[in-house]
């Protein structure tokens, strides 16, 4: 067998593979002899079928199969040994005069080669790295939510502007019949507030859904419907009051602190506020990190320029999917995927240049950390190490989970690298200002 590469340009090449009879004949003959031993053809005893008949019936199929196996194995070996960084897979060139009746065969494959380029994380224009802080307003609101959540309900005979009304929302046309608790403080519509103040248990009030709440998402919960359905509603609903309660906020005392965090962990209102600030900013850090990762990705794609073997990639997309695409469809698919491909190449270069690797042991520890955080959400704060090891072993036996966790760990490693080496401009903002700047 002989394999040669013909370089077309920096991004395209042709690989020519010549296969002679000596490369495949022994293997084909062995398979046909095995067929002969097992063949069960009417008119012949088992194992006594003439080889000529076996060759006539199975020879070409065996030949094609073995030549293709030989071709793929040796082509892959060649690409690995020559360290050719190819995009997609080799594409066989159409040969109009190809003849399987010949003894020697010649095949040609088109290759799309990855471009050579350099990556500098020190981009000319710095990338904003947000530090989201919990301001006094946010902490005040969180303290008040805690006090209300752990406060006590006092029954009332008439509704006031800060009360909680439990009742049933109904609208026959929209099939709404849902019991829920309406917090007067969360209503936006002044007309609705005025119509409810002074009402008693047993009274029914008609309310308009549009603009009813300060936060639009509260409507879906109140009516017991999906958010997308609630967003489109502009109807009237009846609300029949069943209970009226005033929520008396809990005192900020040691009893409340112990209930929230365990005995004597928090000993004052200042400690509570400091803890709320610390916990909130830890949660914000995840959003800030994701924003940074997204922004650096965009900046690298924008600033690192290189050509791609566009013609080859479009042809590869057109011919290698589950179904063949038209030229126009392949062009559209290429346009959609080009940005992602560029970042894959950039990310691969960054990983290689910086020697970033994922070891099995650190992936297992990463999985255990992920499992531990999930268990904490369900109140299991101190799981045994043996239990974590057993769950992690089950997770690591699932290839899809291993792939997902590996991607997350690699993103974490890249983020750490970017924080160390990228050109960053730190900016401290409140959460409200972060939302305004990032999401508009």
Note the pLDDT tens digit of each residue in 88-129. 999 998 887 888 888 899 999 999 999 999 999 988 899 999
Query: Could you give the CA distance from residue 164 to residue 211 in angstroms, rounded to a whole number?
Result: 19
Positive or negative, the Cα torsion across 327, 79, 19, 9?
positive
* Beta pairing class for 424-430 and 127-133: parallel
pLDDT tops 90 at residue 321? no
Residue 320 near residue 89 (C-beta atoms within 8 A): yes
User: Using 50, 70 and 90 to split pLDDT, how confident is the model at 245?
Assistant: very high
pLDDT tops 90 at residue 324? no
Q: How far is CA 367 from CA 40, 389, 393, 404, in A?
A: 55, 10, 9, 10
- What pLDDT score was predicted for residue 370? 86
Question: What's the whole-number mean pLDDT along residues 312-320?
Answer: 92
Query: Could you give the CA distance from residue 49 to residue 55 in angstroms, rounded to a whole number?
Result: 11
Residue 109 near residue 15 (C-beta atoms within 8 A): yes
Query: Could you give the CA distance from residue 435 to residue 440 in angstroms, rounded to a whole number?
Result: 7
pLDDT tops 70 at residue 356? yes
Question: How many of the other CB atoms lie within 10 Å of CB of 409?
Answer: 19
pLDDT tops 70 at residue 381? no
- What pLDDT score was predicted for residue 101? 87
Residue 18 near residue 104 (C-beta atoms within 8 A): yes
Residue 212 near residue 189 (C-beta atoms within 8 A): yes
Q: pLDDT tens-digit profile of 387-411?
A: 888 998 998 999 999 999 999 999 9
pLDDT tops 80 at residue 20? yes
What does the mean pLDDT of the chain come to? 92
Residue 178, by phi and psi: left (phi above 0), alpha (psi -120 to 50) or beta? beta
For 127, the 3-state DSSP assignment is strand
Question: Phi and psi for 86 in degrees, rounded to 5?
Answer: -100, 150
pLDDT tops 80 at residue 47? no
Question: Which residues 6+ apart lie within 8 Å of 50 measured at CB?
Answer: 44
Residue 289 CB-half CA count within 13 A: 15
Q: pLDDT tens-digit profile of 363-379?
A: 999 999 888 888 877 76
* Beta pairing class for 12-19 and 2-9: antiparallel
- What pLDDT score was predicted for residue 320? 83
In the DSSP assignment, the letter for residue 100 is: T
pTM of the model: 0.73
Q: Which residue in this structure is represented by tokens 């993103």?
A: 411
Question: What's the whole-number mean pLDDT along residues 56-63?
Answer: 90
Question: What's the whole-number mean pLDDT along residues 429-439?
Answer: 90
| Residues constituting the chain | 440
- What pLDDT score was predicted for residue 188? 94
pLDDT tops 70 at residue 413? yes
Question: What's the whole-number mean pLDDT along residues 70-77?
Answer: 93
Question: Which residues 6+ apart lie within 8 Å of 288 measured at CB?
Answer: 129, 130, 131, 132, 434
Residue whose C-alpha is closest to residue 396's, from 405, 387, 383, 384:
405
Question: What's the whole-number mean pLDDT along residues 186-204?
Answer: 95
pLDDT tops 90 at residue 42? no
- What pLDDT score was predicted for residue 236? 95
Question: What's the whole-number mean pLDDT along residues 199-208?
Answer: 96
Determine what percent of the chain is predicted with pLDDT higher than 70: 100
User: Using 50, 70 and 90 to split pLDDT, how confident is the model at 74?
Assistant: very high
């Amino acid at each position: 067998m002989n394999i040669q590469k013909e370089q077309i340009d920096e991004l395209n090449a042709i690989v020519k593979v010549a296969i002679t009879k000596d490369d495949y004949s022994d293997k084909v003959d062995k398979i046909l002899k095995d067929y002969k031993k097992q063949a069960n053809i009417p008119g012949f005893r088992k194992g006594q079928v003439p080889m000529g008949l076996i060759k006539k019936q199975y020879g070409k199929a065996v030949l094609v199969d073995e030549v293709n196996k030989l071709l793929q194995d040796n082509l892959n070996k060649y690409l690995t040994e020559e360290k050719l960084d190819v995009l997609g897979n080799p594409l066989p060139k159409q040969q109009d005069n190809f003849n399987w009746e010949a003894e020697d065969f010649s095949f040609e494959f088109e290759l799309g080669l990855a471009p050579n380029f350099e990556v500098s994380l020190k981009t000319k224009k710095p990338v904003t790295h947000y530090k989201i802080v919990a301001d006094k307003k946010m902490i005040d609101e969180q303290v008040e939510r805690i006090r209300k959540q752990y406060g006590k309900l006092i029954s009332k005979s008439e509704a006031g502007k800060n009360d909680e009304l439990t009742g049933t929302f109904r609208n026959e046309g929209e099939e709404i019949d849902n019991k829920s608790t309406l917090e007067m403080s969360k209503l936006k519509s002044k007309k609705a507030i005025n119509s409810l103040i002074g009402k008693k248990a047993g009274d029914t009030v008609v309310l308009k859904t549009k603009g009813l709440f300060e936060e639009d998402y509260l409507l879906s919960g109140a009516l017991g419907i999906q958010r997308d359905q609630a967003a489109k509603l502009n109807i009237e609903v009846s609300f029949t009051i069943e209970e009226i309660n005033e929520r008396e906020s809990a005192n900020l005392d040691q009893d409340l602190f112990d209930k929230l965090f365990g005995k004597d962990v928090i000993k004052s209102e200042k400690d509570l506020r400091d803890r709320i600030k610390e916990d909130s900013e830890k949660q914000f850090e995840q959003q800030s990190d994701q924003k940074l990762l997204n922004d650096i990705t965009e900046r690298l794609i924008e600033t690192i320029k290189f050509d791609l073997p566009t013609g080859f990639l479009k042809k590869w997309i057109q011919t290698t999917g589950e179904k063949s695409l038209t030229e126009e469809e392949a062009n559209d698919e290429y346009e959609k995927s080009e940005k992602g491909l560029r970042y894959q190449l950039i990310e691969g270069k960054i990983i290689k240049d910086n020697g970033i690797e994922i070891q099995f042991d650190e992936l297992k520890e990463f999985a255990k950390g992920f499992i531990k955080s999930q268990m904490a959400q369900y109140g299991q704060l101190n799981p045994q190490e043996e239990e974590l090891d057993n769950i992690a072993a089950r997770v690591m036996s699932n290839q899809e989970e291993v792939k997902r966790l590996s991607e997350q760990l690699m993103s974490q490693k890249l983020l750490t690298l970017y924080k160390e080496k990228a050109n960053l401009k730190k900016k401290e903002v409140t959460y409200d200002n972060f939302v305004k700047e990032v999401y508009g």
